[in-house]
Amino acid sequence: MKAFTVEEITQIVGGMLTKGQDAKIERIAPPLLADENTLALALGEDEIANLAKSKAKAALVPLGVQIDGFTTIEVERPRLAMMKLLNLFYVAPKINDGVHPTAVVDSSAKLGANVKIGPNVVIGENVIIGDNSKIMANSYIGSGAQIGENCLFHPGVNIGDRVQIGNDVILHHGVSLGADGFSFVTENPDNIEQARKEGSIKEENTKHVIFKIPSIGSVVIGNNVEIGANTTIDRGTIENTTIGDNTKIDDLVMIGHNCRIGEGCLIVSQVGIAGSCVIGDRVVIAGQAGLADHIEIGSDTIITAKAGVTKSFPEKSIIVGIPAVPRKDFIKQLKTMKDAQEIFAKFRKFEPMLNAFVEEHQ
């Protein structure tokens, strides 16, 4: 079991130590779950108040917070300090050394130094895997895929042919990279084309045959990217679908073919991004937001939860609502609805007088 002195932890998180009681730190936990060998994480007002009921001797607190009788480590950015502590106590998933006997690795594949391949993994032709990367059980790596150094693929990851993945990439359970894009065409103009062009559907195609458009592009993932469980990113039709360096993608996200996602983006669970979207750098897309195809979102934009984005927006936008509009316009809409309610209430108050006036002058 890992154990640290409060002095060591203070140095690791870059905090300021106020020494009260001696403590040997073996774990971290919220105050109510902490014992004398636990560093209590009191990052907010509720947790700070709970320290009075805690068995802990030491606590991580925001800068300026001191608790009588406690050893406190004050930090300017509590969540940043918490991240450092979680890395300190984190236990990496276990995987066998080398190539597991049940794995199938094509003879043309090139594995770097200290690569670990788990049970039932399939590695296709001409795959390249960089040094120190780990591929856990039941994963599939398609032909011609290139995987960088220090990557970790959790169980059940599926990588399509020719997918390129950078260094220090983490893929969680069930990630799918490089499936065919959802791309089809009909021989004659269909109802979708009519609706887009004319705003209505006039003809009925009784013999409606849908042809698949093959995807011959692939997917390119940058460095230091993390992709959550059961997220899917489709290959491009001709060009590649791309994800920029340092972007973090949550569970259950769908990114369509030909999309270009910038660097340092945060994409939260259940977001759906239709094909051929261009997303700038440092864009935040909150949970369950949906983006229509062929739109562009400028850098440093925030798209709020459940927004339905049907058009492009410039950089540094804050996008809200269905259909999505800039935040200031959304607030105006809310104010207009509130004003309308007040006007309607006034009308109902004077409606009998108005009716009487109309009857008198008919």
Q: What is the pLDDT of residue 195?
A: 72
Q: Place 265 in a pLDDT band, splitting at 50, 70 and 90.
A: very high
Looking up tokens 């004003």 gives 339
Cα atoms in the 13 Å half-sphere on the side-chain side of 135: 32
By annotation, the residues acting in catalysis are 257
Q: What is the pLDDT of residue 205?
A: 61
pLDDT exceeds 80 at position 344: no
pLDDT exceeds 80 at position 118: yes
Q: Place 91 in a pLDDT band, splitting at 50, 70 and 90.
A: confident
CA-to-CA distance for 280 and 247, rounded, in angstroms? 11
Nearest CA to 227 out of 161, 286, 149, 169 is that of 169
Point out which residues pair with 309 in neighbouring strands. Answer: 291
What does the pLDDT look like over 220-238, one tens digit per residue?
Answer: 999 999 999 999 999 999 9
Point out which residues pair with 261 in neighbouring strands. Answer: 243, 279
What does the pLDDT look like over 285-336, one tens digit per residue?
Answer: 999 999 999 999 999 999 999 999 999 999 999 999 988 888 787 777 767 7
Q: Place 203 in a pLDDT band, splitting at 50, 70 and 90.
A: low
Q: What is the pLDDT of residue 206?
A: 63
Q: Place 1 in a pLDDT band, splitting at 50, 70 and 90.
A: low
Q: For residues 52-78, give the mean pLDDT.
A: 90
Q: For residues 269-284, give the mean pLDDT.
A: 98
Q: For residues 104-112, give the mean pLDDT.
A: 98
CA-to-CA distance for 12 and 2, rounded, in angstroms? 14
pLDDT exceeds 90 at position 164: yes
Angstrom distances, CA of residue 134 to CA of 88, 119, 245, 341: 20, 12, 20, 60
What does the pLDDT look like over 18-38, one tens digit per residue?
Answer: 877 777 899 999 999 999 999
This prediction has a pTM of: 0.85
What does the pLDDT look like over 185-197, one tens digit per residue?
Answer: 887 777 777 777 7
Point out which residues pair with 123 in neighbouring strands. Answer: 105, 141
As a three-state string, the secondary structure of the chain is CCCEEHHHHHHHHCCEEECCCCCEECEEECHHHCCCCEEEECCCHHHHHHHHHCCCCEEEEECCCCCCCCEEEEECCHHHHHHHHHHHHCCCCCCCCCECCCCEECCCCEECCCCEECCCCEECCCCEECCCCEECCCCEECCCCEECCCCEECCCCEECCCCEECCCCEECCCCEEEECCCCEEECCCCHHHHHHHHCCCCCCCCCCCEEECCCCCCEEECCCCEECCCCEEECCCCCCEEECCCCEECCCCEECCCCEECCCCEECCCCEECCCCEECCCCEECCCCEECCCCEECCCCEECCCCEECCCECCCCEEECCCCEEHHHHHHHHHHHHHHHHHHHHHHHHHHHHHHHHHHCC
- Residue 145: Cβ-neighbour burial (10 angstroms; 0-12, 13-18, 19+): buried
Q: What is the pLDDT of residue 277?
A: 98
Q: For residues 174-183, give the mean pLDDT.
A: 96
Q: What is the pLDDT of residue 353?
A: 76
Q: What is the pLDDT of residue 342?
A: 76
Percentage of the chain exceeding pLDDT 90: 72
CA-to-CA distance for 12 and 6, rounded, in angstroms? 10
Q: Mean pLDDT lowest for which of 61-75, 103-117, 214-228?
A: 61-75
For residue 216, which amino acid is it? I
Looking up tokens 């990496």 gives 92
Q: What does the longest C-alpha to C-alpha distance in the chain come to? A: 98
Q: What is the pLDDT of residue 339?
A: 67
CA-to-CA distance for 281 and 159, rounded, in angstroms? 25
Beta strand 58-62 with 296-297 is unpaired
Neighbours of 105 (CB within 10 A): 19
